[in-house]
C-alpha cells in the first residue's frame, strides 16, 4: 500500500528565462538557437553565447576564424562592426 503524504510537494524545477539574441535583440526560439563560440573551437575557444541561427550564420559569412579570434572575441566587439549592427534592423524583420 502506498504512503499518503500529508504535505504538498513543491517542485524544484524552474522554467528557464527566455534567451534574447545579443545581436538582433529578439527572443530565440528553441528551434532557432545556435551556440556561437566567441573564439573558434579550432583556436582553443570554450566560451559560448546563444544566438539566432541566422545571426550566427551571418557572423561566419562575414568573418574568418582568425578575425573572430583576434578582432571580434566578444559580443561587444562584434556589435562595433557596422554589418553586424545592422542585424538588429534587417534580420530582425525576417525572424519569426
Average pLDDT per consecutive 10 residues, the chain (96 residues; last block may be shorter)? 65 84 92 94 92 95 95 94 81 49
Three-state SS at 74: coil
The pTM score is 0.75
Residue 2's pLDDT is 62
Q: What is the DSSP letter of 16?
A: P
Quote the CA–CA distance of 29 and 72 in Å, as a whole number: 25
Residue 92's pLDDT is 46
Burial of residue 44 (CB within 10 Å: 0-12, 13-18, 19+) is exposed
Do residues 58 and 91 make contact, with C-beta atoms less than 8 angstroms apart? Answer: yes
Residue 86's pLDDT is 86
Quote the CA–CA distance of 7 and 84 in Å, as a whole number: 54
Residue 5's pLDDT is 63
Amino acid at each position: 500500500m502506498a504512503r499518503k503524504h500529508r504535505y504538498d510537494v513543491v517542485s524544484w524545477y524552474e522554467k528557464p528565462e527566455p534567451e534574447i539574441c545579443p545581436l538582433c535583440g529578439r527572443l530565440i526560439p528553441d528551434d532557432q538557437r545556435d551556440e556561437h563560440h566567441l573564439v573558434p573551437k579550432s583556436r582553443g575557444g570554450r566560451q559560448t553565447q546563444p544566438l539566432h541561427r541566422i545571426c550566427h550564420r551571418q557572423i561566419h559569412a562575414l568573418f574568418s576564424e582568425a578575425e573572430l579570434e583576434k578582432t571580434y572575441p566578444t559580443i561587444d566587439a562584434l556589435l562595433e562592426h557596422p554589418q553586424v549592427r545592422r542585424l538588429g534592423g534587417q534580420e530582425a524583420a525576417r525572424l519569426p
